[in-house]
Structure 1
Amino acid sequence: MKYGVITQKARYTSGMAGKKPKVPVDFNKLEEKAKAFLSKKAFAYVAGGAGTEKTIKANQTVFDEYQFKCPMMQSTPSVDLQISLFGKRYDTPLLAAPIGVLDLAFKDGDLAVARACSKLRIPMIFSNQASSPMEECSRIMANGPRWFQLYWSKSDKLVQSLVERAERCNCEAIVVTLDTTLLGWRPRDLDLGYLPFLHGKGIAQYSSDPIFQEIVRKNQGKTNNDNNSKPPVNLTTVWNLLKLCHHYPGSFWNNLRSGRALTAVKTFIDIYMRPELRWEDLKRLRAMTSLPVIVKGIQTAADARLAFDHGVNGIIVSNHGGRQIDGGVGALTCLDEIIQELGSDKTVLFDSGIRSGADVIKALALGANAVLIGRPFVYGLAIDGQSGVEAVLINFLAEIELQLSLMGVDSVDKLDRKYLM
């Protein structure tokens, strides 16, 4: 086996020499160890969710409602993890979910994840809120598969520019996130008074974009009369402004004198989300690109139908990992209902609550074509950079491979509901 037995043997053999894996296999231990490597603000941003975080809990506990029932004496010596999506063949059923502001976890975090995904041939979905421009990630990925996540800005010219850049970067699909037209109410971040974008973090796709730069130039010198957006001036304010000018691309002194960095952040906050986005807008995106268009954040069969009726190529069943709406139903329940109502002839991916290889198998058995991994690889990144991301993803693949072998399933394509009760 490519991952399962080899990974297992390596871990047990190292254990004979008293060496334990640097990156824990168990998710709870992984999160606990990562917390020690992250600042208080960074951990709150990554781990936190909306409101009382009941949706995060529901995303995980819903997996307990589905159990495997497996025949014996049918183990298979090899398992084919390959899948097909939009006419392309991928080596595994995993994708790295778009996660913003990865430099909160590790310096040049986007680049570390890009290297890990390229090495393992797992598609990385570039975040619209990345800390490194998509061009930098693409350069180090060679022919490694990559997609691009799009937050639909108030500026259609900016949307088009981002899509065209994704095409030039050889992205294989555009993923439009639908559930973040406004930021959810996130108490962990609110209690710390921390939003990374205000510090110039997570806006690299924008600061590297010519259309965004043009908008910033037009906004320079304009007076902002919104007193709610002006922090009180003290030493902390000044210090954060100096760090922003240092972090933003270009000369520190020019950023400070011209006010460009501060204007850029204000511009980003003003235009990066579009609350009035509607299904009909997808037609304009469809006209901008020939790439497959996938929408992320679908939770009902009615919305799934609307998405396909408006020309998308696939959907991602997701509630943003519980970060947007509190008290929501577990995403796996949504997946089950959507597949049962729509059938299996549409491309449906799954995201939210995945914590183990067994979780991946359950989602695939319910009808998902592929599964996105989110927080777990960010925790691996915090602990050990690129190697940490690789370790987390390999752990997932090893568990998937071993469990499918024990279940007598020699290909992920053969998974269906008969394996669940």
Structure 2
Amino acid sequence: MVNIEEITNVTEYEELAKQRLPKMAFDYYASGAEDQWTLKENRTAFERIRFRPRILVDVTNVDMTTTVLGFKISMPIMVAPTAFQRMAHPEGELATARAVSSHGTIMTLSSWATSSVEEVASTGPGIRFFQLYVYKDRNVVAQLVRRAEKAGFKAIALTVDTPRLGRRESDIKNRFVLPGHLTLKNFDGLDLGKMDKSQDSGLATYVAGQIDRSLSWKDVKWLKTITSLPILVKGVITAEDAHIAVEAGAAGIIVSNHGARQLDYVPATISALEEVVQAAAGRVPVFLDGGVRRGTDALKALALGAAGVFIGRPVVFSLAVHGETGVRKVLQMLRDEFEIAMALAGCTKVSEINRSHVETDIDRIRIAARL
């Protein structure tokens, strides 16, 4: 076991988790779809963005607080939904919930959590969103949404990019299935909590049998009729869909490619972000997940118009190594990095971060074209 004080950045947890977790569990968390081009691109696209810092700004005090859907949080770095967290640690989502609450930010609970919405709520106060997959049986969906509302969750993050599961070759090779002692806790009482073994990926077989492939924009409107919670549409990467999401009544958009686990060779989310932000035109907030591993990544996303970012894999990797303390450590490292990045860029509050603070490939092409 590596001493937690020796960990200096988020990415160190991935290799440590690989050493600690069973291969099937680690591969499930770490892998992407097919050639995994988008998985790599989610990171390398951040590396192509450069800062344009402003100097001689008094940064004695840097305020990282912001507001998301009316809720004040300590920093614009939140936790994305990641399934099956008890594969990483016995306390799973409960440990994550406590860690996120201690940092005063938002946790999103997966539909496919190994802890129920009620169990997560029992860990104590916190601002929590609920990620929703739409099942073929809409009564299941309505019941789950009602339970999330009753448990005090504050928004629904509707995942819209998974009519079928992406072809994740590691899961196929490993014949991935949820370990026998674990279930999809939100579905236990509905006889949908178990995942059967399959000749390839047990999860892919489960999705094929349960998730509604006919999901369309009309269902976003339907969802609004069964809940008063704001609905975030998660999985938008084009301007065209951003326009439709706003028209359909979404309260916000999450630019996401599902951690590069669905359609390979789609753009990195940071590359798609500005297009979506421009299409949303300030009518709804736009958030980003995918590839965020540094506080500088968060600053780049906010400069390109994001209202906040979500992290996924760093949570489960740190959870696997150090449990709740590991998740706290990850959030603290990102917080510290973000604060320093803001100060060195010449920003004293989140509202001061703007497009002038970054230079992208497109900017460099435009400059070259004028020469």
Settle same-fold status: TM greater than 0.5.
Answer: yes
- Is contact 1:350–1:368 with CA below 8 Å preserved after alignment? yes
CA positional deviation for 1:231: 6.0
Q: 1:231 to 1:349 in 2, by over 3 A?
A: closer
State the 1:120 CA deviation. 1.2
Please point out which of 330, 348, 352 is paired with 1:414: 352
- String of CA shifts for 1:240-286, please: whole Å, max 9, x gaps: xxxxxxxxxxxxxxxxxxxxxxxxx9996565311110101111100
Q: Is contact 2:46-2:270 (8 Å) kept? A: yes
Classify the secondary structure of the residue corresponding to 2:122: helix
Q: Per the alignment, in what secondary structure is the counterpart of residue 282 of structure 1?
A: helix
Partner of 2:71: 88
Match of 1:399 among 322, 327, 337: 337
Q: Specify the code of the residue in structure 2 equivalent to 1:384.
A: H
TM superposition shift of 1:407: 1.8
Distance 1:366 1:266, change over 3 A: closer
**How far apart are the structure 2 equivalents of 1:100 and 1:126?**
8
Distance, in Å, in 2 between the alignment partners of 1:193 and 1:115 is 32
Aligned position for 1:382: 320
CA contact (8 A) 1:27 1:356 kept: yes
Q: Percent of aligned pairs with the same residue?
A: 36
2: CA distance, partners of 1:420 / 1:266: 40
Q: Give the 5 Å matches for 1:32-43.
A: 32-43=15-26
| Aligned counterparts of 1:408 and 1:192: Cα–Cα separation in 2 | 48
User: For residues 95-244 of structure 1, what are the structure 2 equivalents within 5 Å?
Assistant: 95-140=78-123, 142-196=124-178, 199=180, 201-207=182-188, 209=189, 212-213=190-191
Q: Structure 2 stretches of 5 or more lacking a match?
A: 360-371
Aligned in 2, Cα 1:299/1:154: closer, same or farther, shift over 3 Å?
A: same
Q: Deviations over 1:31-76 (max 9, x none)?
A: 1111111111111000001001101111111112210011222140
Question: Secondary structure at the residue paired with 1:196?
Answer: coil
Residues 266 and 345 of structure 1: is their aligned pair in 2 closer, same or farther, counting only changes over 3 Å?
Answer: closer
Q: How many Å apart are 1:118 and its aligned residue?
A: 1.4
Aligned pair count reads 354
Report the residue type matching 1:206 in the other structure: F
- Work out whether residues 358 and 403 of structure 1, in 8 Å CA contact, stay in contact via their aligned partners in 2: yes
Tell me if the contact between 1:23 and 1:388 (Cα under 8 Å) persists in the aligned partners: no
Which residue of the other structure, out of 193, 205, 219, is the alignment partner of 1:281?
219
Encode CA deviations 1:360-380: one digit per residue, 9 max, x unaligned: 110011111111011011111
Of the structure 1 ranges 130-139 and 26-35, higher mean CA displacement relative to structure 2 is found in: 26-35
The structural deviation recorded for 1:24 is 2.4
1:276-301 superposed Cα distances (whole Å, 9 cap, x missing partner): 10101111100001110011000101
Structure 1: which 4+ aligned runs deviate by more than 4 Å? 229-232, 265-271
TM-score, with length taken from structure 1: 0.80
* Alignment check: 8 A CA contact 1:94 1:371 kept: yes
Q: Measure the CA separation in 2 of the matches of 1:266 and 1:338.
A: 29
Determine the structure 1 residue equivalent to 2:230. Answer: 292
Greater radius of gyration (CA):
1
Q: Is 1:77 the equivalent of 2:57?
A: no
Residue aligned with 1:332, SS: helix
Aligned pair partner of 1:337 in 265, 275, 293 = 275
C-alpha separation between the residues in 2 aligned to 1:20 and 1:40? 23
State the one-letter code of the partner of 2:242. A
User: Mean Cα displacement is larger for which, 171-180 or 68-77?
Assistant: 68-77
Q: Give the letter aligned to residue 89 of structure 1.
A: K
Structure 2 counterparts to residues 359-374 of structure 1, below 5 A: 359-374=297-312
Measured after TM superposition, the shift of residue 28 of structure 1 is 3.8
Q: C-alpha distance in 1, partners of 2:32/2:253?
A: 22
**Cα distance, 1:30–1:75 mapped onto 2, change above 3 Å:** farther
Deviation, 1:230, is 7.8
Pairwise CA distance, 1:354: 0.6
TM-score, normalised on structure 2?
0.90
Over aligned residues, Cα RMSD in angstroms? Answer: 2.3
Match of 1:328 in 2: 266
Matched to 1:36, the amino acid is Q
More helix as a share of residues: 1
Change in CA separation of 1:412 and 1:23 when aligned onto 2, cut-off 3 Å: farther
Structure 1 partner of 2:47 = 64
User: Alpha-carbon deviation of 1:23?
Assistant: 6.4
* Partner SS state of residue 78, structure 2: strand
| Cα distance in structure 2, aligned partners of 1:202 and 1:183 | 19
2:5 aligned with 1:44, yes or no? no
1:341: how far off? Answer: 3.4
Query: 2-side partners of 1:22 and 1:94: how far apart?
Result: 22
Secondary structure of 2:306's aligned partner: coil
Q: Which stretches in structure 1 are left out of the alignment for 5+ residues?
A: 1-18, 217-228, 233-264
